[in-house]
A and B are shown apart, each in its own frame.
Chain A
Amino acid sequence: EVQLLESGGTLVQPGGSLRLSCAASGFTFRDYWMSWSRQTPGKGLEWVANINSGGYKQDYVDSLEGRFTISRDNAKNSVYLQMNSLTVEDTAIYYCARSGVPGAFDYWGQGLLVTVSS
């Protein structure tokens, strides 16, 4: 059974940093692209970043302006999202997901709440 388990969410002050983790199981992790998306309060889904199976190609939504970095460790079956210079607008539920079919995310984690507040 495919499982994605996010961790690392918490309350952080504006300007702070946070690293989210997503542990994968039930599939051959190194064979799949992985992604992070988020849902902000009262708003829709926003794609945040993708990383290819080997970890050497990353894509980001333009609005992040270089504040977030996606990475992975295939030996640990994990994908990460390093978030810097956080603002209140980054408050959201963050989801990791697997890209198991071309151009789409077929399995999602349960989501992780990140609150940016003073």
Chain B
Amino acid sequence: EIVLTQSPGTLSLSPGERATLSCRASQSVHNTYLAWYQHKSGQPPKLLIHGVSSRATGIPDRFSGSGSGTEFTLTISRLEPEDSAAYYCQFNGGSFGPGTKVEVK
């Protein structure tokens, strides 16, 4: 079973800055089924990225995904206040990582 870890646990940044979120897998991921979600309180999670780097429908190009093997990254360029949320990575439609909380203020 692949276990995902995420870092940092919390990220506090200002509007306009770049956020770099890390997701590490316990063993090398040989397929490309790595996804990222944004989750705001009181709302269902929203798919941002699937297949490591493909943006989901309607997701702005400020959000980008990259990585391979055991190291994956979600980058949010030009942060906006509405990007404040928890972000989770997920492998192959299974377990999620523990999440990174992003605060934009």
Q: Which residues of A contact B (CB under 8 A)?
A: 33, 35, 37, 39, 44-47, 50, 59, 61-62, 95, 97, 99, 101-106, 108-111
Contacts and interface: CB of A to CB of B under 8 A. Distances in A.
Given A45-B45, A47-B90, A95-B45, A103 B35 contact: yes
Nearest to B33: A103
A6 to B, nearest CB: 10
Interface stretch (B17-25, B74-82, B91-99): B91-99
Contacts of B46: 108
Contact of A101 (B44, B51, B96, B98): B51
Interface residues of B, number: 29
Contact of A103 (B44, B50, B56, B99): B50
A108 B45 contact: yes
B1 interface: yes
A101 B1 contact: no
B85 interface: no
